[in-house]
Amino acid sequence: PQVLRLHFDLEDTVLISVLCVPPDLREIVFVIQSQSNSFHVRQAERRRADLLEQAQSLTEKPPVVLLLHNLSDNEGDWSILPLLPYLSQSFGKNSSWIVFLEEETNVKMTKLVQVLGKFDQNKEWFLGKPLHDEESTIIHHYAFAENPSVFKYPDFSAAWALSIPLVVRLANKVRDEPLKSDFTIDLKHEVALYIWENGKGQHLTAVPELCTEPDDSPQAQHCATTLRSLPPLCGEPVSADDVFVAVKTCKKFHSERVPVVKKTWEKDALFLEYYSDHADPSIPTINLGVPNTERGHCGKTFAILKRFLSDDVPKTNWLLIVDDDTLISLPRLQVLLSCYDPFEPVCLGERYGYGLSQGGYSYITGGGGMVFSREAVVRLLKSGCKCYSNDAPDDMVLGMCLNALGLPVTHSPLFHQARPEDYARDFLAHQVPVSFHKHWNIDPIAVFNKWLKDDLRTTTAGGLNKSTKTEL
């Protein structure tokens, strides 16, 4: 037990024993929020090996370290809530804490055990590094519109923890009240909302030792968790001549949105085509013979996939499909793609989900950019997958097809479906983003220059050096 020495006067010293015992390592279950793509499996295995190596130096009996993607065949596991009954049943009797972390989360095991020891494990606790919205945002369905900063939700990169009593109660709730068959957009916010239960449940308790500082930062000395300061060594960036870029547009945006692409990121693309409902040689745009639709664009996207495999365009290993109001850094994307094998079916971007608690599917949300390896496009089209209408939501139809084929959707938090102001400031501070989306109420060129103009040597908004902080 820790001992506190309280001084009442010069002569008297009272010793008080404080019964706040750190948990045994065997009482902690680590869940690495891993993915089934081979690169991410390797990253998660490294993290698991590091945790077990640290544990070995502290105790003979190691903690349980789970890789989330291995736990079941349920596609919805990554949304955490469907997983709670399993965690409760498997670990509810002999464990004290479930600690969730991401592949890139460094853990100082001794420090983490000390931190958890500050909290009574017999009570309900929801621990993490708090994020909050500066203004109400579409990605959170404009929740807490009157005072967006009042609601706190965890930055998953810093790790977050649930005490077993809370896990058991939430698991019973999941069993008794089926989860809504709805969209999963920003998981960390949605998990926190579920736990909060309209104010009747647990608020997030801020833990200063759960950090997103680089592990070599002087500010990280007090931290139990940190983020790596160097990217994984994945080799040279993918060459620009191995990425084909498809921009979806339509006649009404030729003069409004296309000029922004041309003034910002078009110059970094070697192979790029604009696809529209109207052929305009001044841009130039290509009419794929698919009428424009107000929403969905499924017909246009599938025409792009077919064109990518045809002899009409240069043969590349990677296809990037974006909207005409997507802002993207192609050099950063090329660095990111160096970690992935184009001969595997890779579908990469910001992952959303639909109906994940009830046999639904994951999909790459289109606005932030959808990246496909050639192998993924070949398998998609070979399967006979197609749109049920030209204006069906292309990203969701592709998600259904990938799910039916058993092909994984790979998430990167560096792609963003919304604008920078739609994300928590502290969340973006430890990223070097790849993309944002929408021109609404912003100057898109200024946003590009601030967040995405690429040199990989300038500093991020958080002041970190991009050459050492590219987060892959």
pLDDT band at 472, cuts 50/70/90? very low
Tokens representing 258? Answer: 């296309």
pLDDT band at 14, cuts 50/70/90? very low
Taking only the tens place, the pLDDT of each residue in 202-219 is 999 999 999 999 988 999
The share of the chain scoring above pLDDT 90, in percent, equals 84
Tokens representing 195? Answer: 């736990």
Tokens representing 236? Answer: 């040279």
Residue 467: what pLDDT?
39
Architecture of domain 243-452: Alpha-Beta Complex (3.90)
pLDDT for residue 247 is more than 60: yes
Least confident window among 192-196, 233-237, 300-304: 233-237
pLDDT band at 468, cuts 50/70/90? very low
Taking only the tens place, the pLDDT of each residue in 56-71 is 999 888 999 999 999 9
Give Cα separations from 87 to 15, 94, 174, 246, 252 (angstroms): 40, 11, 12, 43, 51
> Average pLDDT over the chain, rounded to whole?
91
Taking only the tens place, the pLDDT of each residue in 344-373 is 999 999 999 999 988 899 999 999 999 999
- Contacts of 262 by beta carbon, 8 Å cutoff, 6+ apart: none
- Annotated domain spans of the chain: 25-227, 243-452
Quickly tell me which residue has 């601030």 as its tokens. Answer: 450
For the beta sheet containing 351-354, the strands, ordered from the edge strand earlier in sequence to the opposite edge, are 183-184, 351-354, 361-364
Q: Which residues of 320-338 are buried (b: 16+ CB within 10 A; e: fewer)?
A: bbbbbbbbbbbbbbbbbbb
Select the more confidently predicted residue: 467 or 220. 220
pLDDT for residue 300 is more than 60: yes
- Compute the distance between CA of residue 448 and CA of residue 163 in angstroms, rounded to an integer: 42
pLDDT for residue 6 is more than 60: no
Residue 292: what pLDDT?
74
pLDDT band at 304, cuts 50/70/90? very high
Would you say the CATH fold of 243-452 matches that of 25-227? yes
Architecture of domain 25-227: Alpha-Beta Complex (3.90)
Quickly tell me which residue has 């309900």 as its tokens. Answer: 124
